[in-house]
Chain A
Amino acid sequence: NAGVMQNPRHLVRRRGQEARLRCSPMKGHSHVYWYRQLPEEGLKFMVYLQKENIIDESGMPKERFSAEFPKEGPSILRIQQVVRGDSAAYFCASSPPVRTGGFYEQYFGPGTRLTVT
């Protein structure tokens, strides 16, 4: 069973361009989460999605960031008009639709390292 896949692994964008980060969850997983890791802030939750629905986007910046998880295909985290402060590692996690010990256990992908020049 393949793990969570993310691509690209590394992405370089100039200021003002758009960044699209893709996440394919593990087989049978219907929940996807995005996290961002900044050196000075640690790993922080951004958004939680189920197929075609955003469940919780409380960690998403109000502007320029959006996420989707369509019925078919990977989840996409989109950052418009990137700025230097968007440089970070972005991780996707997926979980099955059943709880283990009261929560949906999350499995992480290898991340996308975004560098904005």
Chain B
Amino acid sequence: TQLLEQSPQFLSIQEGENLTVYCNSSSVFSSLQWYRQEPGEGPVLLVTVVTGGEVKKLKRLTFQFGDARKDSSLHITAAQPGDTGLYLCAFYNQGGKLIFGQGTELSVKP
């Protein structure tokens, strides 16, 4: 059973388009992390959301944490080829392990 469900699994869009990817769960989290993983590299932390309803912006990326702290979304405005990669949401369990969703594989074509 996947604790974090990410959708869509794959997304292929043209440069300049907007997109939203989702991270859903039936569990409540104290915080959620979003990572981007480029081909051949390790995950890099983009943001941590902590408060229900919180919105954080990172240039063209907007992250939202659901009011009930069970879900999160990532919206990218005017996507660029450099945004291509695997987007992962994750949370720390009580033992300190990171538990990841399956990820959304994004491809932005010029």
Near B by CB (< 8 A), chain A positions 20-59 give 33, 35, 42-45, 48, 56, 58-59
Q: Given A108-B44, A110-B41, A56–B30 Cβ distance below 8 Å?
A: no
On chain A, the number of residues with a Cβ less than 8 Å from chain B's Cβ atoms is 25
In the bound complex, what is the Cα–Cα distance between A110 and B41 (angstroms)? 5
**Could you say which of B56-64, B67-75, B77-85, B94-102 contacts chain A?**
B94-102
| Cβ contact within 8 Å between B102 and A45 | no
Which residues in A have their C-beta under 8 angstroms from that of B7? Answer: none
Q: Given A43-B88, A101-B31, A102-B30, A108–B96 Cβ distance below 8 Å?
A: no
| Cβ contact within 8 Å between B43 and A45 | no
Of B48, B96, B102, most A-chain CB atoms within 10 Å: B96
Pick the contact of B42: A44, A103, A110 (CB < 8 A). Answer: A110
Q: Is B66 an interface residue (CB 8 A)?
A: no
Q: Is B10 an interface residue (CB 8 A)?
A: no
Q: Given A48-B96, A56-B97, A103-B92, A43–B30 Cβ distance below 8 Å?
A: no
Which residues in A have their C-beta under 8 angstroms from that of B92? Answer: 102-103
B: residues with CB less than 8 A from A are 30-31, 40-45, 48, 50, 88, 92, 95-103
A: residues with CB less than 8 A from B are 4, 33, 35, 42-45, 48, 56, 58-59, 91, 93, 101-111, 113
